[in-house]
Amino acid sequence: MRQISTGMLTPLLSNYIRPIFMASIAFKSETIYCWTGAGTITYNGNAYLGVGDFGKLSPVAEGTDVQSYGASISLSGIDQSILGECLSDVQLGAPVTIYFALLDDHGAIYGTPYPLFVGAVDKPTISMGTSDITITLALETRMFDLQRASLRRYTSADQQIAYPCDSGFNWVEQLNDLALKWK
């Protein structure tokens, strides 16, 4: 069970809150830190750049059933001249964390931001308008990996990739041709 920090609990129970979302997205060249407001805020030693109305976050869902709930994050207003550079910097499977946080009257973060979504970049989608470009990154949780077929095999050669000194699978191939009688 995830817990909200005590520093966030008091403002949540009050009549006035300033909610924000913060995102940490790893790319090939660097990790980008952004948030849903204007200006720059600092959390955990990282400067989060405000994207304002240019950034969008899809609803983040959770459930009690064993299912992968994804999300998406979009950035619009991208210049066509840097589109290629933007797309070549996207790294599939790179870690992404989206936080829910509260700001006080002075723009400081209350308590510890709540990790709303922890997952990985799945695939980028591009929408080209007449004046600007929007890139949307589909995000998936680690639960999504359960739906993919495993590329691992129960053979000695495959076991040696991860554990070079392990001999536990040395006889597996011979078991296919062995007829055993159980009493």
At 1, the pLDDT band (50, 70, 90 cuts) reads very low
Instruction: For residues 16-42, give the mean pLDDT.
Output: 88
Q: Which domain holds residue 27?
A: 6-148
Residues 135 and 77 in one domain: yes
Q: Is the per-residue pLDDT at 105 higher than 90?
A: no
Interatomic CA distance for residues 1 and 101, integer angstroms: 18
Q: Is the per-residue pLDDT at 59 higher than 60?
A: yes
Residues 181 and 94 in one domain: no
Task: Note whether 129 and 58 are within 8 A (CB).
Answer: no
Contacts 24+ apart (CB under 8 A), 81-86: 83/126, 83/133, 86/135
| pLDDT, greater one: 104 or 47 | 47
Percent helix, strand, coil in the chain (nearest 5)? 20, 35, 45
Q: What percent of the chain has pLDDT over 90?
A: 9
Residues 69 and 141 in one domain: yes
Residues 94 and 181 in one domain: no
CA torsion, ordered 68, 72, 73, 75, to nearest 10 deg: 160
Res 147: pLDDT: 61
Alpha-carbon Rg of the chain, whole angstroms?
Answer: 23
Instruction: For residues 172-183, give the mean pLDDT.
Output: 79
Residues 38 and 126 in one domain: yes
Residues 176 and 118 in one domain: no
